[in-house]
Amino acid sequence: MGTPKQTVAIVGIGLIGGSLARALKRRDATTHIVGVDSSAEHLALATERGFIDEAHAEIRDGVASADVVVVATPPRCVVDIAREALGAARPSAVVTDVASTKRAIVEALDDPRFVGAHPIAGTEKSGPTAALADLFDARVVIITPGPKTSRESVASVERLWKHAGARSVRMDAAHHDRVVAAISHLPHAIAYALTLAVGSLSDSAPNLFGLGAGGFQDTTRIASSNPEMWRDIFLENRDETLRALDVFLASLANLRAAIETRDAVAMERLFERTRTIRRRVLDAP
């Protein structure tokens, strides 16, 4: 008898869940993927495109045969769904998630079989039609084990993400929330505010749209991301986001003051610093 193929249940077949299904199928077509979603349309699409082998509307049914359950729903539902999955799945099954905030989830799910995880990948699109088999290739997934999480559970989730193409980094959940506030939640907040500002400024400047400045389009691409998800992320990671926002506001105040007082030397100093920081970012392993 050969090694039994692995069964992965993915709850929420959207951009992330759908991409994970595709990435795992790409690596090993015998991996059995169970899709669980409250949207019959999502399930039908994912089945039709071959992302999933089995479709269920109910969590209880979908997780019954799973070795690993991945909760890829909107962040606010993760705790309830993960609890239900921990109760319904086999005792050997591991439950993990993909939410962008981790501290509250890891605290609420203090179980040896739960492993908090966050793949640092995404696009501004949503739903299974946006799913990409290579979304996680060479990307980082942050694994945030809780105090009770078993070593075996962590190893199982790290293996899953390795198969999906990603590289795991372990981190304390609270530290994770601080880090993503800086590299993800802050840039998103800024992209939203910049888009709103340009919307206002366009009232007194016709011809503003259609000029297609690369600067504006790049900086605001992420402002097309899923509004409900970002509302939840900001609510969940409120304190770290506010802290990062205030550091940003202080930096912008410095630059604003240099522009207002026509302080060329201060500007040069600030811009040279940004070049150094960017190089550190791009050179980082």
Site for its own copies in 152-211 (CB under 8 A): 169, 171, 175, 178-184, 186-202, 204-205, 207-211
Which DSSP category does 131 fall into? -
SS3 279: helix
User: Count residues contacting its own copies (CB under 8 A)?
Assistant: 94
Residue 229 C-beta: closest distance to its own copies, Å: 10
Does residue 104 touch its own copies according to CB under 8 A? Answer: no
Are 21 and 33 in contact, with CB atoms under 8 Å apart? yes
Closer residue to its own copies, CB minimum distance, 85 or 233: 233
Helices 227-236 and 186-201: crossing angle, nearest 10°?
Answer: 130
Distance CA 251, CA 184 (A): 17
Which residues partner with 118 through β-bridges? Answer: 142
Which residue number, 5 or 231, has a Cβ lying nearer to its own copies? 231
Contact characters 132-151, its own copies, x per CB under 8 A: -------xx-x---------
Q: Considering the complex, state which of residue 64 and residue 270 has its C-beta at the smaller distance from its own copies.
A: 270
Task: Give the residue with the Cβ less far from its own copies, 84 or 97.
Answer: 97
Q: Give the residue carrying structure tokens 């088999």.
A: 133
- Applying CB under 8 A, which of residues 121, 133, 157, 173 lies at the interface with its own copies? 121
Kindly identify the residues of this chain, within the stretch 209-268, that bind its own copies according to CB under 8 A. 209-224, 227-228, 230-231, 234-235, 238, 241-242, 244-245, 247-252, 254-256, 258-260, 262, 264, 267-268
Residues facing 169 on adjacent strands: 142
Residues numbered 23 to 52 that lie near its own copies (CB under 8 A) are: none
Minimum separation from the CB atom of position 85 to its own copies (A): 26
Residue type, 67: D
Show Cβ contacts of residue 277 under 8 Å, excluding neighbours closer than 6 positions. Answer: none
Question: CA 19 → CA 49, 146, 249, distances in Å?
Answer: 12, 26, 35
